[in-house]
Structure 1
Amino acid sequence: MGGSLFAVLRVRPHGLRTRWSFAPGGPLAYLTGRKPLASTGLTDMAISFGLRTKRSWVSRERRLVRLYDG
Protein backbone atom coordinates (compact mmCIF):
# COMPACT_ATOMS: atom_id res chain seq x y z
CA MET A 1 0.00 0.00 0.00
CA GLY A 2 2.77 2.45 0.87
CA GLY A 3 2.35 5.88 2.41
CA SER A 4 -0.38 6.93 4.77
CA LEU A 5 -4.06 6.11 4.76
CA PHE A 6 -6.47 8.68 6.13
CA ALA A 7 -10.15 8.48 6.96
CA VAL A 8 -12.37 11.54 7.29
CA LEU A 9 -15.33 10.90 9.57
CA ARG A 10 -18.51 12.89 10.07
CA VAL A 11 -21.06 11.59 12.52
CA ARG A 12 -23.71 12.88 14.94
CA PRO A 13 -23.82 10.68 18.04
CA HIS A 14 -26.77 10.70 20.41
CA GLY A 15 -27.91 8.58 23.33
CA LEU A 16 -30.65 5.98 23.08
CA ARG A 17 -32.93 4.11 25.44
CA THR A 18 -32.94 0.42 24.46
CA ARG A 19 -34.27 -2.92 25.57
CA TRP A 20 -32.72 -6.29 24.67
CA SER A 21 -34.65 -9.37 23.65
CA PHE A 22 -32.86 -12.60 22.67
CA ALA A 23 -34.09 -16.03 21.60
CA PRO A 24 -33.83 -18.48 24.54
CA GLY A 25 -31.93 -21.06 22.48
CA GLY A 26 -29.84 -18.59 20.47
CA PRO A 27 -26.12 -17.77 20.70
CA LEU A 28 -26.82 -14.60 22.74
CA ALA A 29 -29.20 -16.25 25.22
CA TYR A 30 -26.70 -15.62 28.05
CA LEU A 31 -27.53 -11.89 27.75
CA THR A 32 -31.22 -12.44 28.61
CA GLY A 33 -32.20 -10.33 31.60
CA ARG A 34 -29.11 -8.09 31.39
CA LYS A 35 -29.18 -4.38 30.65
CA PRO A 36 -26.95 -2.64 28.11
CA LEU A 37 -24.11 -0.62 29.64
CA ALA A 38 -24.54 2.13 27.05
CA SER A 39 -26.42 2.64 23.80
CA THR A 40 -25.44 5.14 21.14
CA GLY A 41 -27.07 5.98 17.84
CA LEU A 42 -25.13 7.34 14.88
CA THR A 43 -26.97 9.51 12.38
CA ASP A 44 -25.81 11.41 9.31
CA MET A 45 -22.70 9.24 9.16
CA ALA A 46 -20.22 9.46 6.30
CA ILE A 47 -16.71 8.06 5.90
CA SER A 48 -14.14 8.56 3.14
CA PHE A 49 -10.84 6.74 2.76
CA GLY A 50 -7.82 7.97 0.83
CA LEU A 51 -5.58 10.98 0.56
CA ARG A 52 -7.16 12.65 -2.49
CA THR A 53 -10.81 12.23 -1.57
CA LYS A 54 -12.73 15.52 -1.44
CA ARG A 55 -16.30 15.95 -0.28
CA SER A 56 -18.31 19.14 0.01
CA TRP A 57 -19.21 18.40 3.65
CA VAL A 58 -15.57 18.20 4.81
CA SER A 59 -14.61 21.43 6.57
CA ARG A 60 -11.51 22.66 8.35
CA GLU A 61 -13.10 21.87 11.71
CA ARG A 62 -13.45 18.15 10.89
CA ARG A 63 -10.85 15.83 12.36
CA LEU A 64 -8.55 13.92 10.04
CA VAL A 65 -7.85 10.53 11.56
CA ARG A 66 -4.60 8.83 10.64
CA LEU A 67 -5.32 5.10 10.49
CA TYR A 68 -2.13 3.80 8.92
CA ASP A 69 1.36 5.16 8.55
CA GLY A 70 3.43 2.76 6.47
Structure 2
Amino acid sequence: MNEQPPVEQLAYSIPSFAKAVDLSETTIREAIKRSELVPSYPAKMKPIITREEGHRWLRSLPDEPPQAH
Protein backbone atom coordinates (compact mmCIF):
# COMPACT_ATOMS: atom_id res chain seq x y z
CA MET A 1 0.00 0.00 0.00
CA ASN A 2 1.09 3.55 -0.71
CA GLU A 3 -0.24 5.23 2.43
CA GLN A 4 0.58 8.93 2.84
CA PRO A 5 1.64 10.21 6.27
CA PRO A 6 -0.89 12.49 7.96
CA VAL A 7 -0.55 16.18 7.17
CA GLU A 8 0.57 18.19 10.17
CA GLN A 9 -1.96 20.91 11.04
CA LEU A 10 -0.26 24.31 11.00
CA ALA A 11 -3.16 26.53 12.08
CA TYR A 12 -6.61 26.30 13.63
CA SER A 13 -9.88 28.16 13.42
CA ILE A 14 -11.10 29.43 16.78
CA PRO A 15 -13.61 26.54 17.15
CA SER A 16 -11.03 23.89 16.21
CA PHE A 17 -8.37 25.42 18.49
CA ALA A 18 -10.84 25.49 21.38
CA LYS A 19 -11.61 21.83 20.78
CA ALA A 20 -7.91 20.94 20.48
CA VAL A 21 -7.13 22.48 23.89
CA ASP A 22 -10.41 21.39 25.54
CA LEU A 23 -11.56 24.94 26.33
CA SER A 24 -14.65 26.87 25.29
CA GLU A 25 -14.68 29.18 22.30
CA THR A 26 -15.62 31.96 24.73
CA THR A 27 -12.42 31.37 26.71
CA ILE A 28 -10.37 31.54 23.52
CA ARG A 29 -12.13 34.70 22.29
CA GLU A 30 -11.64 36.37 25.70
CA ALA A 31 -7.91 35.57 25.57
CA ILE A 32 -7.80 37.18 22.12
CA LYS A 33 -9.65 40.29 23.40
CA ARG A 34 -7.10 40.60 26.24
CA SER A 35 -4.29 40.25 23.65
CA GLU A 36 -3.01 37.15 25.44
CA LEU A 37 -3.58 35.02 22.33
CA VAL A 38 -2.80 36.65 18.99
CA PRO A 39 -4.62 35.38 15.90
CA SER A 40 -3.49 35.80 12.31
CA TYR A 41 -5.82 36.97 9.55
CA PRO A 42 -4.66 35.43 6.25
CA ALA A 43 -8.04 35.93 4.59
CA LYS A 44 -8.41 39.39 6.19
CA MET A 45 -11.57 38.28 7.94
CA LYS A 46 -11.34 34.78 9.41
CA PRO A 47 -8.94 34.59 12.37
CA ILE A 48 -6.70 31.56 12.71
CA ILE A 49 -4.41 30.50 15.53
CA THR A 50 -1.05 29.26 14.30
CA ARG A 51 0.44 26.22 15.94
CA GLU A 52 3.35 28.31 17.24
CA GLU A 53 1.05 30.97 18.74
CA GLY A 54 -1.12 28.28 20.33
CA HIS A 55 1.93 26.66 21.92
CA ARG A 56 3.25 30.04 23.12
CA TRP A 57 -0.10 30.89 24.71
CA LEU A 58 -0.42 27.50 26.39
CA ARG A 59 3.09 27.80 27.86
CA SER A 60 2.17 31.25 29.25
CA LEU A 61 -0.79 29.93 31.25
CA PRO A 62 -0.41 29.59 35.04
CA ASP A 63 0.58 26.19 36.39
CA GLU A 64 -1.78 26.46 39.37
CA PRO A 65 -5.31 27.76 39.90
CA PRO A 66 -5.70 31.27 41.37
CA GLN A 67 -5.82 31.53 45.14
CA ALA A 68 -9.18 32.33 46.72
CA HIS A 69 -9.26 35.61 48.64
User: One fold, TM greater than 0.5?
Assistant: no
TM-score scaled by length of structure 1: 0.19
Larger radius of gyration: 1
Structure of higher RCO (CA pairs closer than 8 Å, 6+ residues apart): 1
TM-score scaled by length of structure 2: 0.20
Structure having the higher strand fraction is 1
